[in-house]
């Protein structure tokens, strides 16, 4: 390279020498074919070479099902179309056909997702059909003997209390109670039994009549049996309800008993939800 001290007559030769050196160091930058790219061959200065682009490099982005955007140049933006189709909390995006989908808005509280071939998405939100189920079960037992020698109903001691959770609930009542009747007479012996909710008779009654027997020591009729009943009550209440049984004799000189010999009586109350 000529310097400030170089003679003018030497400049052509000096420039010629400089050009040859530049041509040698930049030789790797010359040439190449269409589509090739310049690549470093080492960390050495001016160490370049022309090479064919790797076929795996991205040359374009094509959006598929559920994706939008793409392109072959510039900034490429890709969007999830299924995500943008959803606008509200709880939305679903079911298929409507091959490679197609549509938004299904969320249903209302307590609805369930139901298959429906007539709907565009094949699905719909629907209120489930009502079905009865047990809300609570109360059971009580009583095994103390009770007797009544009058024709007026008296409480046997068998009782249970339930508080319905809804006024629309029904109460299923199941009662099993042993009893006995005794009468020292040659006429038939009998007694009556009923079920009450608080002070209201449910109209569930039973009557027992037995034949009589004559013996050398007198006439004595004895009947040892048991009552059993199941009943669906509709109290329309959310207050505490007391269910109980009562018995009475059918006539004078008759005595009726429950839980003779400490036999156990049982009452079960089940709340049936609407």
pLDDT in tens, 177-188: 987 776 655 555
In the predicted structure, residue 64 carries a pLDDT above the cut 80: no
Instruction: Output the pLDDT for position 272.
Output: 94
Compute the distance between CA of residue 3 and CA of residue 90 in angstroms, rounded to an integer: 81
Instruction: Output the pLDDT for position 261.
Output: 83
Average pLDDT, the chain: 81
Region 215-244 average pLDDT: 77
Model pTM score? 0.52
11-22: pLDDT as tens digits: 566 556 655 665
> Measuring CA to CA, how many Å separate 95 from each of 99, 105, 120, 138, 256?
8, 14, 9, 49, 73
Compute the distance between CA of residue 171 and CA of residue 195 in angstroms, rounded to an integer: 13
Domains along the chain?
80-129 (no CATH), 133-273 (2.60.120.760)
Instruction: Output the pLDDT for position 134.
Output: 92
Question: Dihedral of the CA atoms 165, 170, 176, 180 (nearest 10)?
Answer: 110
In the predicted structure, residue 235 carries a pLDDT above the cut 90: yes
Confidence grade of residue 41 (pLDDT, cut at 50, 70, 90):
confident
């Amino acid at each position: 390279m000529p310097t400030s001290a170089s003679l003018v007559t030497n400049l052509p030769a000096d420039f010629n020498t400089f050009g040859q050196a530049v041509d040698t160091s930049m030789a790797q930058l010359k040439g190449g074919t269409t589509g090739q790219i310049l690549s470093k061959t080492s960390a050495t200065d001016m160490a370049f070479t022309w090479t064919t682009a790797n076929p795996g490099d991205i040359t374009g982005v094509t959006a598929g099902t559920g994706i939008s955007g793409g392109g072959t140049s510039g900034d490429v933006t890709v969007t999830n179309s299924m995500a943008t189709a959803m606008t509200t909390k709880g939305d679903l995006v079911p298929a409507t056909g091959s490679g197609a989908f549509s938004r299904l808005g969320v249903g209302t509280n307590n609805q369930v997702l139901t298959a429906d071939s007539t709907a565009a998405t094949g699905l719909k939100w629907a209120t489930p059909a009502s079905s009865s189920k047990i809300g609570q079960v109360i059971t009580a037992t009583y095994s103390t003997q009770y007797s009544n020698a009058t024709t007026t109903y008296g409480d046997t001691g068998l009782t249970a209390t339930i508080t319905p959770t809804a006024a629309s609930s029904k109460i299923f009542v199941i009662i099993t109670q042993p009893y006995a009747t005794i009468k020292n007479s040659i006429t038939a012996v009998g007694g009556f039994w009923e079920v009450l909710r608080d002070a209201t008779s449910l109209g569930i009654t039973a009557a027992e009549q037995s034949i009589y027997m004559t013996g050398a020591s007198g006439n004595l009729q004895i009947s040892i049996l048991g009552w059993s009943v199941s009943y669906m009550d509709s109290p329309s209440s959310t207050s505490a309800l007391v269910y109980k049984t009562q018995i009475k004799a059918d006539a004078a000189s008759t005595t009726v008993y429950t839980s003779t010999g400490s036999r156990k009586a049982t009452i079960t109350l089940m709340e049936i939800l609407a």
